[in-house]
Amino acid sequence: MAENNMLITKEQIIQWLAKSAAILNENKAYLTELDSAIGDADHGANMARGFNAVLDKLPAVADKDIGTLLKTTGMTLMSSVGGTSGPLYGAFFMRGASAVAGKAELNADDLGQLLADGSSGIVQRGRAEVGDKTMVDAWLPAVAAFKTALADGKDISAAMQLCVDAAEQGMRSTIPLQAKKGRASYLGGRSIGHQDPGATSTYLLLKALLDTLE
């Protein structure tokens, strides 16, 4: 049985957001390339702009609790990301923030709740299901894998590794799918054969969290 008493500090949450900004900036051209195949070629710019705006806002709330940090992140993404993904990622961080309101550190169950509530926020807002070729194809298997790992007695890092593996698989699972939601759905059958940009940025965000915990 693995030890599950590791705690995620507020500093690590700040590092996660900073690392997310770095990874999204590094992958800006890649995300844009994916979005140019089945969308309007702005997903890289949208995500980089959004997380750069988050980085600008963080110093002002760095002394607040994790819930406040994540709520600020969500509100900043909603207001700074043009495009569908802004309100969806905004919903993730706002709903996730509510799950950990007032906390200065998170245990494994807190993180599980943050991920579960946050991804439910995305589903409620966008009404996509697994198989619709959206970020939900990465989020839902990832969150399920995290919960299963905790139930199996894995520690936070090991559970997060399985979560990221599932997100990566979910991301790749979008390639053969026909898009049913969002801009890519306008292409009908021509959306088949391309990896979904939003599922890719979701994988990158979760990977940034794993990197932060290691």
Give the interface with ligand ADP as residue ranges (CB under 6 A): 35, 39-40, 42-43, 46, 83-85, 88, 122, 126-128, 134-136, 181-183, 196-199
Handedness of CA 22, 133, 170, 7 (dihedral sign): positive
Q: How far is the CB of 31 from ligand ADP (least distance, A)?
A: 8
Q: Is 196 in the site for Mg ion (CB under 5 A)?
A: no
Footprint (CB under 5 A) of Mg ion, residues 43-72: 43
Nearer to ligand ADP, 82 or 153 (CB): 82
Q: With CB cut-offs between 5 and 8 Å by kind, which of Mg ion, ligand ADP, none does residue 199 bind?
A: ligand ADP
Which of 14, 19, 24, 42 forms a contact with Mg ion (CB under 5 A)?
42
Which of 9, 11, 26, 40 forms a contact with Mg ion (CB under 5 A)?
40
Which residue is closest to Mg ion by CB? 39
160 token code pair: 């997060």
Maximum Cα–Cα distance for the chain, whole Å?
49
For residues 125 and 50, what is the distance between their CA atoms, to the nearest angstrom?
Answer: 18
Nearer to ligand ADP, 46 or 161 (CB): 46
Which of 16, 24, 32, 35 forms a contact with Mg ion (CB under 5 A)?
35
**Spatial CB neighbours of 83, under 8 Å, sequence gap ≥ 6:** 42, 43, 46
Helix, strand, coil % (nearest 5) of the chain? 75, 0, 25
For residues 70 and 33, what is the distance between their CA atoms, to the nearest angstrom?
Answer: 29
Q: How far is the CB of 156 from ligand ADP (least distance, A)?
A: 27
For residues 199 and 185, what is the distance between their CA atoms, to the nearest angstrom?
Answer: 15
DSSP state, residue 179: P
Nearer to Mg ion, 32 or 68 (CB): 32
Residue 8 main-chain phi, psi, to 5 deg: -95, 125
Enumerate binding residues for Mg ion (CB under 5 A): 35, 39-40, 42-43
